[in-house]
Amino acid sequence: MNRTIRHLSLVTLAAAAVLVPSAAALAADATGCSGSVVSMTADGAKLDAATAPGAGGTADNPLKLDPGGTVAWTGSSTTAITGGTWSVSALGVTLLSGDAANTEKKTSADGTTDLSTIPALKVLLSGSTKIPVSGTITGTGGSCTASGYVAGTGSLTSAPLFWIGSVLALLGLLLGVSVLTGTKAVATTAAVTSGGAAS
Amino acid sequence: MTAKRHHVRGFFAGLFLGLGVALLLFVLGVLPMTVAWLGIVTLVGIVLGVVLAYVAPVRAT
């Protein structure tokens, strides 16, 4: 498959997975492109699905992903985007990026992406964490921009962020207790002085 | 007599508690993991920690 079209479809994947923030609770949205995605577990069982524009991939109903699984996607752009670049990012971290030559000037594609090839997802999608994802492809002939939410499906105890959060919260509580127990009445210099003079 | 309070300790107590609670809320899927939510929850924790230091009951020495 044309590499550029694959990249376009990955952006469309993000479009299917996410929403424009202002419409996050309504439906998946995308500008300049459309598509759908079906997420599957590492065992190949269907996990979730979303379309953009359409249902799924919202903050209230994020697209569930198995970081070790795959996603089957279809996508299309309103115009053939050639000679550009593409990227998919989450929390300001670029997960995937590349050039988008698209010399064949295709406007649609489909395929499957192995999420296990994106190590950052294993950390970001631990537990039930839901994260905003955005994707863009820009080049000659147009552009495609999308954003929305995806969520993890792993167990809490397997999530590093769970343990980090627990330790930090416990440390904060202990410090809070020490603030309570450490607040004591002390004699001022004047009190000590007057006390000394009296004696 | 005056009260010896621990404002700096309260600040860090709130900071750690806020960060920890934010991470737990993220992992539990209660809040979307964004810098904005991380900042808000942490800031709330810091404010609570400092306020706690100011209002904590004074214990007799």
Q: What is the DSSP letter of A138?
A: E
| In the predicted structure, residue B14 carries a pLDDT above the cut 90 | yes
Asked if residue B13 is part of any domain, the answer here is: yes
Burial of A93 (0-12, 13-18, 19+ CB in 10 A): exposed
Record the pTM: 0.71
Q: Are A155 and A138 in contact (CB under 8 A)?
A: no
Residue A24: predicted pLDDT = 40
Measured CA angle at A62 (ends A89, A90), to 5 deg: 10
Residue B58: predicted pLDDT = 86
pLDDT tens per residue, range B30-59: 888 888 999 999 999 999 999 999 998 888
Report which of A83, A60, A182, A180 is spatially closest to residue A132, judged by C-alpha positions. A60
Q: Are A152 and A67 in contact (CB under 8 A)?
A: yes
Asked if residue B29 is part of any domain, the answer here is: yes
Look at strands A46-52 and A33-40 and give their pairing: antiparallel
Provide the Cα torsion A118, A124, A130, A132; round to 10°.
-70
Interface of B with A in 11-30 (CB under 8 A): 12-24, 26-29
Residue A86: predicted pLDDT = 83
Asked if residue B20 is part of any domain, the answer here is: yes
The answer to whether the Cβ–Cβ distance between B6 and A181 falls below 8 Å is no
Tally of domains within chain B: 1
Asked if residue B60 is part of any domain, the answer here is: no
Asked if residue B15 is part of any domain, the answer here is: yes
CA–CA distance, A106 with A128 (Å, rounded to integer): 37
Asked if residue B61 is part of any domain, the answer here is: no
The answer to whether the Cβ–Cβ distance between B13 and A176 falls below 8 Å is yes
Burial of A90 (0-12, 13-18, 19+ CB in 10 A): buried
Asked if residue B1 is part of any domain, the answer here is: no
The answer to whether the Cβ–Cβ distance between A170 and B29 falls below 8 Å is no
Residue ranges in chain A modelled with pLDDT below 70: 1-29, 190-199
The answer to whether the Cβ–Cβ distance between A162 and B23 falls below 8 Å is yes
pLDDT tens per residue, range A1-54: 455 445 544 444 444 444 333 334 444 568 888 888 899 998 989 999 988 777
Q: Residues 6 or more apart from A114 whose CB is under 8 A from it?
A: A70
Torsion sign across C-alpha atoms A163, A65, A123, B48:
negative
**Beta-carbon contacts below 8 Å between A and B:** 143
Q: What percent of chain B has pLDDT over 90?
A: 62
Residue A12: predicted pLDDT = 46
Range of the domain at B48: 7-55
Asked if residue B39 is part of any domain, the answer here is: yes
Residue A3: predicted pLDDT = 55
CA–CA distance, A101 with A60 (Å, rounded to integer): 36
